[in-house]
Structure 1
C-alpha cells in the first residue's frame, strides 16, 4: 500500500528544502512550519492517493485544520473540568461559528477527494472489463492503493458513506498532526544527541543505494508485504530511534473515555458517565517498566542486544501496554501504522541529506498546550548539506 511512492515523495520533500544560495554552507529553517505542510502533503498521498502538490487546490485547508486543533484543546479542558450539564452548554457556545465553518470546509475537502478516488476505481474497473472482453494478455495496473481506496473497495464493509468520511477525517487529521509533532521532537532529540544523529546517518547511508533501488522499483502483491515495511525493518537503529522518540514524546498527551455503564477498575467503583483520563507519560516514563533511566533519551533500549523478551512482552521485552503513545486495544489509534511509517521515512531522508543543529542550543522546548503536543516555541534549526 504505502510503498515506493511514499518513500519517493518523502525524499523529494526533504531534498527540495530551500536553504537559499547554494554557495551558503548552512542556513536556518523553521521546522515547525516546514513539517506541518510536508506531513499534510504526505498524508494526502497515504490516505487519498493524491499527487504531489494536491494542497494547492485547497489553500485554506491547513488553516482550518490548525484552528480545529486549537479549539480541540479548549474542548479537552472543558471535558476534564466541568460536569456534564455545563460541558454541553460550553461546547455548544465556544467557537461555535468558526468551528463549524472549519469542520464543513474539512469535510468538503474530504468528500471531494473521496469522489476523485471513487472515479479512479470506476475507471480502472471499466478498463479491466474492456481488457477481459478483448482478451488482452496484459491487464491494466491495479488502482493506487491507499487508505481511502481500501475502504471504498472493501467488499464486506458495512460502513455508510458518512462513517467512511468520519474514518478518513481521523486518518487525515490524526496521522498528519501527530506525525508533524513527533518529527519536530525527533529533530530536537537528534540535535541534543549528535552521537545518535551520526550513528543513525551512518546506518541510513550504508543502506541507501539498495534501499532507494528496491523501494523505487518494487512491486507489491496481495501475498507480498509492501517492501517499505521490510526495508524499515532492515534499519534497526532507525526503528529504535523512532520508538524512543514516540515513547518520550507522545503526540497526544491525554486521552479520555466515558464509562458507558457502571464498572470497576482494580476494585474501584466507576459509575456510569464517569470521565476517565489517561496520560500516556504516566506509563511511558514509569521506572518499574523502563528502568531508572526511563526519562532519558536512549534508543539503545530498543535494540535486540538490550531486549529481554517475555511471554507477555512486546518487541522490547516489556509488557505490551508499557508504551501508551498510541494506546492499546480496540480503541487504539487507527493511524499509528501510517504515522510510524511517515516518521521513519522523513527521519531517514532528513539525516541522509542534512546535518541539523539547534539555532539556539540554550532554548528550552515544552509541549504546547494543545491536542497534539508539538514543541513550543517554534523549532528553529541550522541545516548543513551532507556531502555524498
Structure 2
C-alpha cells in the first residue's frame, strides 16, 4: 500500500506546486479541504479497488465527480441525516428532494463500477494475472470464504471507499490547520520528513518510493497525527444500543436503549488525559526516549476512541494513519 500512498502524495504536491508557480505573483491560496479530498479520493480508490479516479489531476473527472455526488456530505445530506433521527429511514429516502435524486443517480453508478471491478478481479484470479495485494482482492476472497453474495461484497467495497475517503480527507484538513496554529511543529515535522522521506517533487525516475519503514522511523509525525485524531476525532459522536438491562454509573439502563457516546468529550477529559487534556500537545504520544507512546500517556489504549476499540474498532485504522502521514509530511516538505 505504501507505494500507492507515496505515488499519489507525490502527484498531489506536484500538482499543487504547478498551480502555485502558475500564479502571476506566486502567492497562490489553496483551499486545503478541497485538495485533501482530491488526494484522499485517489489514494483510497487506488488502494481499495485498484482504480485511479484521476481526482488530483482533474477534480471534475467523471468518476471523481460521481463519487463526490454519492458520498461527500452536503447541506442537503446533513438535513436528511437529521430527519432520520425522528422519521423512519425508508420514509426519508423517498422524499422528493434534490439530494435524494442525486443519490439515486450516483450510487448505482458507483456500485456498477465496483461490480465491474470485482468481476474483473475474479477473472484475473482465475487467470492468475493479479498479484492480489489490494483490498479488492481481499473482497474477492471474502466472497469465497464467507460465501457472501456479490451485492454483499459490493456493500463492503462502497463502505471502504466512503469511510476511507472521508476519514482521511477530514484528518488531513485538520492536520494542516493545526500546523498553521503551531508553526513550531511545521519545523519539527519538516526536519523529520526531509531526513526520512524522498523528495515529493523529484522526478519519478530519480526518486525512490516511501516505505512503511520510513514512517516507522518518524515518531514525530506519528505523534502529531495521533494528537490531531484525539483533538478532532473522525467521528465526534457515535451511538450504541444496549443488548440487555444494565447499570452505568448507578443509573439503570433498560435493554434497547440508545446511548450517545461523545468521543470528542471523552478525548478532552482531564481525568483520563491529565491536566493538559484541553491543550493540543502531540508530545503526549512520545516516550522519554522519543519513541511513540501508543496510549498517549493514558493508563491504556482503550481511552483513545478515534477509531473505537475492541470488536467494533475500525479495521483500517493503521491504513488511515499511514495514509494521513505521507501527505501531511509532504505538505511541510513542499515549501
* Smaller-chain TM-score bracket: 0.7 to 0.9
The number of residue pairs the alignment matches comes to 323
Match of 2:259 in 1: 276
SS in 2 for 1:305: coil
Match of 1:66 in 2: 72
RMSD: 3.3
Gap change, CA 1:74 and 1:253, over 3 Å in 2: farther
Is 2:328 the partner of 1:350?
no
Matching residue within 215, 236, 240 for 1:257: 240
> Equivalent residues in 2 for 1:210-289 (5 A)?
228-289=211-272
C-alpha distance in 1, partners of 2:145/2:51? 25
Is 2:149 the partner of 1:149?
no
Q: Specify the structure having the higher radius of gyration (Cα).
A: 1
Q: Could you state the TM-score of these two structures normalised by the residue count of structure 2? A: 0.83
User: Is the CA contact (8 Å cut-off) linking 1:71 and 1:95 kept in structure 2?
Assistant: no
User: Is the CA contact (8 Å cut-off) linking 1:107 and 1:165 kept in structure 2?
Assistant: no
User: Is the CA contact (8 Å cut-off) linking 1:261 and 1:272 kept in structure 2?
Assistant: yes
* Gap regions ≥5 residues in structure 1: 129-139, 219-226, 354-385
C-alpha distance in 1, partners of 2:291/2:188? 23
The farther-off stretch of 44-53 and 329-338 is 329-338
Gap change, CA 1:77 and 1:288, over 3 Å in 2: farther
Match of 1:362 in 2: none
- Structure having the higher strand fraction is 1
Is 2:20 the partner of 1:19?
yes
C-alpha distance in 2, partners of 1:259/1:288? 25
Q: Could you state the TM-score of these two structures normalised by the residue count of structure 1? A: 0.73
User: Is the CA contact (8 Å cut-off) linking 1:240 and 1:302 kept in structure 2?
Assistant: yes
> Equivalent residues in 2 for 1:1-388 (5 A)?
2-17=1-16, 18-21=19-22, 24-51=25-52, 53=54, 56-58=61-63, 59-67=65-73, 70-72=76-78, 74-76=80-82, 78-79=84-85, 82=86, 86-87=87-88, 91=92, 98-99=99-100, 101-102=102-103, 105-126=106-127, 128=128, 142-154=130-142, 155-209=144-198, 228-305=211-288, 314=295, 316-353=297-334, 386=335
User: Is the CA contact (8 Å cut-off) linking 1:309 and 1:318 kept in structure 2?
Assistant: no
- Structure having the higher helix fraction is 2
